[in-house]
Amino acid sequence: MSRIAYVNGRYLPHRAASVHIEDRGYQFADGVYEVCEVRGGRLVDERRHMARLQRSLTELRIPLPMPLPALSVVLHETVRRNRVGNGLVYLQVTRGVARRDFAFPSPEGSPSVVVTARRLDFASNEKRASDGMSVITVPDNRWERVDIKSVSLLPNVLAKQAAYDKGAREAWFVDHDGQVTEGASSNAWIVTADGKVVTRPAERGILRGITRTVLLDAIKAEGLKLEERPFTVAEAYAAKEAFVTSASQIVMPVVRIDGRPVGEGRPGRIAAALRTAFHRYAEFS
Ligand code: PDD
């Protein structure tokens, strides 16, 4: 079955789906995106993802390309046309097509919208979760506005590749103070020896992950101890457990950091419990 993409008002087979060479997304990475989990054919936390999309667009002064209810129809229709039961839906909005010029086009053009959807292999994700994964640490060399979910992801691409080159699956960025900010495409968490779940506050240095936000609700509701504060690489090495969160991985245990085993080198009890609990606290649409 050929995959179908939504591109500026049309549903097209991928081989025919393309954007203009002067799209500002292509030329300047002048655009934003969202990734939502699809589970049982439904979107997970669409409302929060759309709220973050609006925020990212506002920060970059890109207009919302269509009202949110219309965008919701496109997201669901793309999932349906690709027959995605469990997987992801990807939405990208750029400032649109204009002659190459750094300043915003005047008059303002219309934003470009692309939506794709794909299946994820449920069984292999569960296998990874039961094995746990390795991460490496790398210096955080990104710009300060990582709170915007921009498609400008080159440092993240290079960090992720550095991880893969070392047989790891994720790279954790580390700031000038030796504190972990977040993963190349996920938020970072540890569980301390005395059972506190620790993650960096979302005020500075990280993307406010939707999975992170929902998991904070889950942690409170499940009566776990929580500390929203930065943590150092040394603390991560000494942690009892570690894990990452993202729409594509939900809660994924980390069992090695820079080659050192985390705790006993196996997925932790709290990470596993939170992975199981997560969808009880998520919204489905
Ligand atoms: N990545 N931090 C970064 C830098 C991310 O790219 C992501 C998501 C997250 C987690 O956010 P959320 O829980 O809302 O998915 C944190 C997506 C999945 C991606 O780029 O594919």
CA neighbor of 20 nearest in space, from 152, 149, 103, 111: 111
Q: Give the global pTM.
A: 0.97
Closest-CA residue, ligand 1 atom 2, reads: 186
Mean pLDDT of the chain: 97
Atom of ligand 1 nearest to the CA of 210: 14
Please name which of 65, 46, 78 lies closest in space to residue 8, comparing C-alpha atoms: 65
Cα–ligand 1 centroid distance for 217 (angstroms): 18
What are the tokens at 20? 């203009």
CA dihedral 277, 40, 67, 27 (to 10 degrees): 90
Answer whether residue 1 shows pLDDT above 90: no
Tell me whether residue 149 is one of the annotated catalytic residues: yes
DSSP state of 110: P
140 lines ligand 1 (CB under 6 A): no
Report pLDDT digits (tens) over 231-262. 999 999 999 999 999 999 999 999 999 999 99
Ligand 1 centroid to Cα of residue 107, in Å, is: 33
Q: Does any ligand 1 atom lie closer than 6 A to the CB of residue 207? A: yes
Question: How far apart are the CA of 244 and the centre of ligand 1, in A?
Answer: 10
When pLDDT is averaged across residues 129-149 and rounded to a whole number, the result is 98
Q: What is the pLDDT of residue 126?
A: 94
Tell me which residue has its CA closest to atom 1 in ligand 1.
185
